[in-house]
Chains A and B, each alone.
Chain A
Amino acid sequence: MLGYVLRRFAIACLLMLFVSFVAYILLFAAGDPAVTIAGAEAKSDDIARVRELYGFDRPILIQYIDWLWGVLGGDLGTSLYFKRPVAGLLLERFAITAKLGALALTLALLVAIPLGVIAGRKPNTLIDRFALLLAVVGQAMPSFWFALLLMILFSVTFPILPASGLTSWRSYIMPVIVLGYFSTPAIMRLTRSGMISALEADYIRTARAMGLPERKVLFDYALRNAALPIVSLASAEFGFMLAGSIIVENVFAIHGAGSLAWESIARADLPTVQALVLCFSLFYVVFTMLADILNALLDPRMRAR
């Protein structure tokens, strides 16, 4: 078991290194950072000064190693845009996005799993189709449109929810719905298929024959077996959610890590982008590792591979 965890840890570190290096290169490929930072109305001498100031004239590999050295020493650098330490900036923003993401994932699970159970119980019936339709609705339209529609409905037509910012618990409702809904179809489908398979198993027939109440059959037996793949999927969905938060945060004026990511990329704020990429990949890696460990613990067959 320990060997397994160590192996996973080593791969995780390698992954983060790889991803951060690729991100660095992409940032340069996406346009000369000196020009972006100097601003649209800067003249060529302003741009040259910026280039010199931040060392963009050095080879990319050297710049990357410089940054990496700093990170390993615990220094995430200073934001080129905000002129503040990146660490503090990230902490503030991530607290918000993580909260949003966690709530959204919870919502997705709360909606998708029951729907999946219902659908799996009676496959190919009207209920099944309806559950599927419900799950897919939120994903069948672009999230910024979904977000704006909700905003118009609940902040304008029926002014019961705040349109922007995070002033109260009510502010979380619409963003969480938009963000969470994105993952509902995948989780629901997986639950449904898992339930169908599990329910066809022999021991379920036995349990039913023995007269166990249906609810017990569904949740204690069938769902528990279907749970394994759902856990790994949920972790992947959390990763997607972080990506989707860019748009949601933009529309609802919630200043979290997602909007920071997009704006930092657009502003070529290299230290911030690099730190964000590191964090996102860390989150993702940790989640998948946890999910795999959980799977390994629950299913000895996986560990042997």
Chain B
Amino acid sequence: MTDLVNSVNPGSDTSPLEGRPARWRSNGSLLLGLSILAIVVAMAIFAPLLAPYDPYAQSLPNRFTPPVWLPGGGWDHILGTDQLGRDYLSRIIYGSRISLSIGIGTALVSGLIGSTLGICAGYFGGRIDSVIMFVVTARLALPVVLVALAIVAIFGSSFTVVLLTLGGLLWERFALVTRAATIQLRGADFVTAAEIQGATVPQVMLHQLIPNLANAIVVVATLEMAQAMILEAALSFLGLGVPAPMPSWGLMIAEGKAQILFEPWLITIPGAFLFALVLATNLLGDGLRDVLAPESRN
């Protein structure tokens, strides 16, 4: 985080956005991450065309059918069936929608909250900064489980609730990064120039700060996206995640835990998909950072 401090040369009067070489194509991580993400997004968009069955269609006589490569499996259910006889492949395909929505949605919500707080803290400094840092520390010291439990108790468990819960719990990295970056940028000449010219606070924030912070924000966003998807599985493990029978990968993993010894595919398959997606988002984040802000790899 302190490297963002070093990244901007205070002597310049141009913003760091200018003069950046295009390095997209040569960055392996970025390409790999992007490709995997693209596949998952395609899976999500074309789910109705790809899925062989309705992901909610139960068939009690056909519970726990193994995938096609295990004895007892067949091509009618390539990835087998779960504890209610639902086709696993279809659930995986539709599950991509939910996992992606949770990842992206959480990143948006937490990004909004965290960046706002961080920029305000960094720009105004002083008392506002102290208050915001106090809130950040308080949020970190409060047990996540307790907050999630209380929220579910009051609002019930639904996709929206889970999204808001995760968004409200994952904003601190946004806040810390944008705050540190804002503090540094605040002293930069081009910002001072804008203020001298009479720009209002919102204008400065919008036109000077945010464009330069955008890179850092995007990088953190990809990392928080990955975090959100994993956290969703942890919440489902504790019974506080999306409500059944939604085919979220996190819930499928949590539900599959009970059968890990005897029907391990129930947890391995969604686990592998989630793993790939999280890895992809991580790679994307790292790759973006290298490309967008090579001096401030953080």
A and B touch in the complex (CB under 8 A): yes
Interface with A: B149-157, B160-168, B188-196, which one? B149-157
Q: Are B1 and A29 closer than 8 Å at their CB atoms?
A: no
* CB neighbors of B among A221-274 (8 A): 228-229, 236, 239, 243, 246-247, 261-262, 265-266, 273
Contact of B150 among A30, A192, A236 (CB under 8 A): A30
Whether B128 is near chain A, meaning CB under 8 Å from some CB there, is: no
Whether B77 is near chain A, meaning CB under 8 Å from some CB there, is: no
Q: Are B250 and A193 closer than 8 Å at their CB atoms?
A: no
Residues of B within 8 A of A185 (CB): 282
Q: Are A284 and B145 closer than 8 Å at their CB atoms?
A: no
Q: Are A247 and B141 closer than 8 Å at their CB atoms?
A: no
Q: Are A144 and B234 closer than 8 Å at their CB atoms?
A: yes
| Known contacts A140-B278, A145-B253, A192-B297; A19 and B153 CB within 8 A of each other | no
Total interface residues on A, using CB and 8 Å? 56
Total interface residues on B, using CB and 8 Å? 49
Q: Chain A binding site: helix, strand, loop or mixed by DSSP?
A: helix
A16 nearest in chain B by CB position: B141
Q: Are A284 and B233 closer than 8 Å at their CB atoms?
A: no
* CB neighbors of B among A114-157 (8 A): 123-124, 129, 132-133, 136-137, 139-145, 148, 152
| Known contacts A26-B147, A197-B3; A239 and B141 CB within 8 A of each other | yes
Q: Are A144 and B257 closer than 8 Å at their CB atoms?
A: yes
* CB neighbors of A among B1-43 (8 A): 1-3, 6, 27-29
Interface with A: B112-120, B197-205, B267-275, which one? B267-275
State A275–B254 Cα separation when bound (angstroms).
30
Residues of A within 8 A of B3 (CB): 193-194, 197, 229
B2 nearest in chain A by CB position: A229
Residues of A within 8 A of B142 (CB): 19, 22-23, 277, 281
Q: Are A261 and B145 closer than 8 Å at their CB atoms?
A: yes
Whether B238 is near chain A, meaning CB under 8 Å from some CB there, is: yes
Residues of A within 8 A of B226 (CB): 139-140
Q: Are B253 and A27 closer than 8 Å at their CB atoms?
A: no
Residues of B within 8 A of A179 (CB): none
Q: Are A142 and B253 closer than 8 Å at their CB atoms?
A: yes
Whether B49 is near chain A, meaning CB under 8 Å from some CB there, is: no
Min CB distance A225 to B, Å, is 10
Residues of A within 8 A of B50 (CB): none
Whether A31 is near chain B, meaning CB under 8 Å from some CB there, is: yes
Q: Are B143 and A280 closer than 8 Å at their CB atoms?
A: yes
| Known contacts A143-B234, A145-B271, A273-B146; A18 and B282 CB within 8 A of each other | no
Residues of B within 8 A of A193 (CB): 3, 296-298
Q: Are A265 and B261 closer than 8 Å at their CB atoms?
A: no
Residues of B within 8 A of A62 (CB): none
Residues of A within 8 A of B261 (CB): 152
Interface with A: B58-66, B79-87, B132-140, which one? B132-140
Q: Are B279 and A140 closer than 8 Å at their CB atoms?
A: yes
Q: Are B290 and A229 closer than 8 Å at their CB atoms?
A: no
Contact of B141 among A140, A190, A265, A284 (CB under 8 A): A284
Question: Across chains A and B, which 10 residue pairs bring their CB atoms closest together, nearest first?
Answer: A281-B141, A142-B233, A140-B278, A26-B150, A29-B150, A193-B297, A30-B150, A30-B149, A30-B153, A284-B141
List 24 A–B pairs whose Cβ atoms lie within 8 Å, in order of A's numbering: A11-B134, A15-B137, A15-B141, A16-B141, A23-B146, A27-B146, A29-B153, A29-B154, A30-B149, A137-B279, A140-B226, A140-B230, A140-B275, A141-B230, A144-B257, A148-B257, A152-B261, A189-B286, A192-B297, A196-B297, A228-B2, A239-B140, A285-B137, A288-B137
